[in-house]
Amino acid sequence: MSRWGLVIDLDRCTGCQACVVACKHENNLPFSTPETADVGRLMTWIQLVAADLPGRPMPSSLPLMCQQCDRPPCTDVCPTSATYLNPEGIVAQIYPRCIGCRYCTNACPYAVKIFNWTEPEWPESMAGMRNPDVSARPKGVVEKCTFCHHRLIAARERARVAGRELAPEDYVPACVQICPAEAMTFGDLSDPHSDVAALASGPRAFRWMEELGTQPKVVYLREGE
């Protein structure tokens, strides 16, 4: 069974936010305004946050999305099992089952679970530009990064129809695909020969707020070493 993980090299990340835009477009996230951001209702599954890292004089920009924890605090508090850790290590969110209680948004130490305060709306000029593989989440549910799980479903189907095994390049989330600095590496952490497994066990690797014991599968690489 695969165990999907993401490695982000902070030495390569330029903070261009291409991943943020790609994620919004891939996952049908509606636009946010400065006003909605000011009141903490920014709709984005990835944010660049300023992080003070040891040995760095300036804060680093750190792309922060759902850390796909192996011990996710959010799933423990969900009263309807709308969010759970799936067999491949992705913390899934089942929107029709979510009652919008926001226990999970409070339990998540990374603050990356987003509550939908409004119905999703796009400008008329963007009609027909929605990704048909992803639903538009209604008002009143919590949503989050799923490592573009819909891409995994599609990739697995293509591989099965072609009568072959899923290859590492078949399944890549939108943020990884778009990153112009190639700062992101995605793959199967359970495969010892994968790039992602080698990087995640390297000397530069660290997990964000790993002292909490959430065991994230998003791994960062320290800068300047």
Binding interface with other proteins (CB under 8 A) = 84, 86-87, 90, 92, 94-97, 132-136, 146, 149-150, 153, 157, 160-161
8 Å CB contact between 49 and 16: no
Q: Which is nearer to other proteins, 156 or 207 (CB)?
A: 156
**Least distance to other proteins, CB of residue 90, Å:** 7
Angle at 144 between CA 42 and CA 210, to 5 degrees: 100
Indicate the residue among 134 and 205 with the shorter CB distance to other proteins: 134
- Residue 16 or 154: the one with the smaller Cβ distance to other proteins is 154
Q: Which is nearer to other proteins, 135 or 177 (CB)?
A: 135
Nearest distance from C-beta of residue 119 to other proteins, angstroms = 13
CB of 128 to other proteins, least distance (A): 15
φ and ψ at 9, to 5 degrees?
A: -85, 105
Residue among 13 and 98 whose Cβ is closer to other proteins: 98
CB of 40 to other proteins, least distance (A): 26
> In this structure, what token pair is assigned to residue 95?
């929107």
Least Å from the CB of residue 133 to other proteins: 7
Q: C-beta of 28: minimal distance to other proteins in Å?
A: 10
Complex with other proteins: residue 115 or 220, whichever CB lies closer: 115
Burial 35-63 (b: 16+ CB within 10 A, else e): eeeeeeeebbbbbbeeeeeeeeeeebbbb
